[in-house]
Amino acid sequence: MELDVQYLLQQLVNGLSNGMISALIAIGYTMVYGIIELINWAHGDLCMLGAFFALTLIGALGIGAWSGPMAAFGVVILLLATAGFCGSLNLIVDRFAYRPLRRAPKLTLLVTAIGVSFIFVNLGLFWGGLPMTVFGEGNAAAAPKNFPAIVPATPILGGEPGQVTLTVRDLMIAGVTMPLMVGLWWLVRHTKLGKAMRAVAQNPTAASLMGINTDRVIGATFFIGGALGGFGSVIYAINNGTIGFQLGYRAGMDAFTAAVLGGIGSLPGAVLGGLLIGVARSLSDGYLEARWTPTLVFTILILILVFRPSGLLGLKSKEKV
Amino acid sequence: MSPMATPLLAVRDLRAGYGAIDVLHGISIEVAKGEIVSLIGANGAGKTSTLMCISRVLRIRGGSISFQGENITDLLPDTVVRRGLAQVPEGRKIFPRLTVGENLEMGAYIRSDAEGIEADRARVFTLFPVLKERLSQLGGTLSGGEQQMLAIGRALMSRPTMLMMDEPSMGIAPILVARIFEAVKELRSEGMTILLVEQNARAALKLADRGYVLETGHVVMTDSGAELLKSSRVREAYLGD
Ligand SMILES: Nc1ncnc2c1ncn2[C@@H]1O[C@H](COP(=O)(O)OP(=O)(O)OP(=O)(O)O)[C@@H](O)[C@H]1O
Ligand SMILES: [Mg+2]
């Protein structure tokens, strides 16, 4: 069989594009794990609520009808508002669900996160049943909702048959995720808050003996991780075209696998893992069959957990961030 | 000894424990401004627990703590540091994947006076010149003795009124132990108040103005450092005489 280079390159472009979204969501898993060793089961579902929030906002402001520069402005509003929504919601959950359990066994924390996940999923189901025009009134609560293509998939490169195509949407995804990742890296490396986050992750007792309010730093971590998930949920929804209460399961599983593959607790690991999972998915979609793709993702997850639990860039054993 | 008029730190009838077990059964300790007070006792006597209670890291089950005349019993750990009471914890607890510079920066977390911080950094480098050479090295790659110096330097970066040190000589080569005790003396000559927990009871009591002997969560003796060194009970139990 002759290798169709153009087809392969197109799969890679699609894979990297989707992978950047997974990476953004994966960062939320990895940051929280890095600082309190919690696998935040509810993170994917937080993103699902973010997508519902964004769609509701589109309906309320009529953003779906905006075009040209106004559409770009609409996307910026959606991104910032949804990031604020998801960040705040994550912060509130930490304050009332996880903070009281700081000294509890890690398993208690995990079970609580699973509980939060159930609550989020049911909130999503309830939200989807609200009679809103933008949801397609009369639709069942569980039915997928159309998410308007505010950013069109117009080609900016290629576009003809036989050419590798890069769309405005791919550009938006890169334009949103890359600055956020660079910004986060800078924050964690060079700001006082970032250094305090690393200090709390490495030794919370010592951090409090330095006068660091560890609860506040952990709260900030939840906010930032949640906000990045909010950004991720908007670009995911635009890219995907539909949203539903189960979105957190799909997007969340990809991102969680990405975080584990990269080495949970490691920020560069989450990015690398996200890109690899994205590419693996699109290669599976393109060369195997789309219905095998979730199986492939699960297989990757299980293989890493068995053979290399610390992931590609993770620190061995208990070391993190 | 007669009670002090206004001790800088006053711990009264302190009780604390872990889970179902009480380990401090009513400890009372006073430290006056400018004093070095030493806390000695066998393994498991409750020395670390006492310091962790004072820093408000360990939950208190009874009694009270006051610092500079104010009740700090119900404060959070970060607020205690802001009030001027810092601790060099047992086992050093430096941040292994932060650089030496970043570790010191975390010590100054509560401050924002850039010039003052820079001055205190210079002072730490005078005290422990090796830290300046290792500035961009990760904390976890320092030797044990260097880590201890970093832990002391880091605590000094909050510019505390009083410093609590938990076994600063533990697991360190004798020559570095000497250096660390030198540093303690220098700090005292600059007016620092110090509560020193030590395994090395002889060195600690020589240095200390006063000492407390802790046994299974009780204060069993307190006297001047010189008197404790002479006491037969201390000599037998802690000095190996
Ligand atoms: N985290 C903990 N959980 C349960 N028990 C603890 C904990 N830390 C200390 N203990 C117990 O509390 C008692 C006092 O311990 P502490 O560490 O305060 O003693 P110490 O005087 O500092 O001893 P050492 O000289 O060995 O450092 C001991 O019996 C110890 O086993
Ligand atoms: Mg101890």
According to DSSP, residue A98 is labeled: I
The predicted pLDDT at position A283 comes to: 93
Helix (H, G, I), strand (E, B) or coil at B41: strand
Find the mean pLDDT for residues B112-136.
96
Long-range contacts of B188-192 (CB under 8 A, 24+ apart): B188/B34, B188/B36, B191/B34, B192/B34, B192/B160, B192/B161, B192/B162, B192/B163
Please report which confidence band the pLDDT of residue A320 belongs to, taking 50, 70 and 90 as the band edges.
Answer: very low
A142, pLDDT greater than 80: yes
Helix (H, G, I), strand (E, B) or coil at A170: helix
Q: Find out whether the beta carbon of B89 lies less than 6 Å from any atom of ligand 1.
A: no
Q: Give residue for tokens 């430290």.
A: B31
Comparing A82-86, A150-154, A293-297, B4-8, the range with the smallest average pLDDT is: B4-8
A110, pLDDT greater than 70: yes
Tokens of A110: 């995990």
The predicted pLDDT at position A137 comes to: 74
- For A47, counting Cβ atoms within 10 Å of its Cβ (0-12 exposed, 13-18 middle, 19+ buried), the class is buried
Instruction: Pick the residue of A202, A205, A210 with the most B CBs within 10 A to test the interface with B by mutation.
Output: A210
Contact B168, B88 (CB under 8 A): yes
Of residues A3 and A305, which shows the higher confidence score? A305
> CA nearest A53: which of A248, A180, A233?
A233
Identify the H or E element spanning B64.
strand B60-67
Hey, how many other C-beta atoms are within 10 angstroms of the C-beta on A66? Answer: 18
Judged by CB atoms closer than 8 Å, whether chains meet at A209 and B94 is answered as: no
Instruction: Sort strands A155-157 and A145-146 into parallel, antiparallel or unpaired.
Output: unpaired
A319, pLDDT greater than 70: no
Shortest CB distance from B95 goes to which of A206, A208, A213? A206
> Which residue type does A139 have?
N
Residues near A216 by beta carbon (within 8 Å), at least 6 away in sequence: none
Long-range contacts of A137-144 (CB under 8 A, 24+ apart): A141/A245, A142/A244, A142/A245, A143/A244, A144/A242, A144/A243, A144/A244
B13, pLDDT greater than 60: yes
A1, pLDDT greater than 70: no
Q: For all residues of chain B together, what is the average pLDDT? A: 94
Hey, how many other C-beta atoms are within 10 angstroms of the C-beta on B83? Answer: 17
Structural domains of chain B, ranges and CATH numbers in brackets = 9-238 (3.40.50.300)
The predicted pLDDT at position A2 comes to: 64
Alpha-carbon distance A117 to A226, whole Å?
Answer: 14
Q: Find out whether the beta carbon of B139 lies less than 6 Å from any atom of ligand 1.
A: no
Instruction: With beta carbons under 8 A apart, name residues in chain A contacting B107.
Output: 210
**Chain A closest-CA separation from residue B155 CA (Å):** 7
Please report which confidence band the pLDDT of residue A161 belongs to, taking 50, 70 and 90 as the band edges.
Answer: confident
The predicted pLDDT at position B241 comes to: 66
Cα B102 vs. chain centroid, distance in angstroms? Answer: 22
Chain A / chain B CB contacts < 8 angstroms: 66
According to DSSP, residue A135 is labeled: G
Q: How many CA atoms lie within 13 A of A2 on its CB side?
A: 3
**Chain B closest-CA separation from residue A266 CA (Å):** 13
A25: region left, alpha or beta (phi > 0 left; psi from -120 to 50 alpha) = alpha
Distance B40 CA to ligand 2 centre (A): 10
Handedness of CA A257, A263, A267, A273 (dihedral sign): negative
The predicted pLDDT at position A67 comes to: 84
- Which chain A residue shows the shortest CA-CA distance from B18? A103
Alpha-carbon distance A38 to A106, whole Å?
Answer: 7
End-to-end CA distance of chain B: 26
B49, pLDDT greater than 60: yes
The predicted pLDDT at position A321 comes to: 44
pLDDT tens string B160-192 = 999 999 999 988 888 888 889 999 999 999 999
Identify the H or E element spanning A309.
none
Please report which confidence band the pLDDT of residue A203 belongs to, taking 50, 70 and 90 as the band edges.
Answer: very high
Q: Which residue's CA is the nearest one to ligand 1's atom 10?
A: B18
Shortest CB distance from A202 goes to which of B82, B96, B109? B96
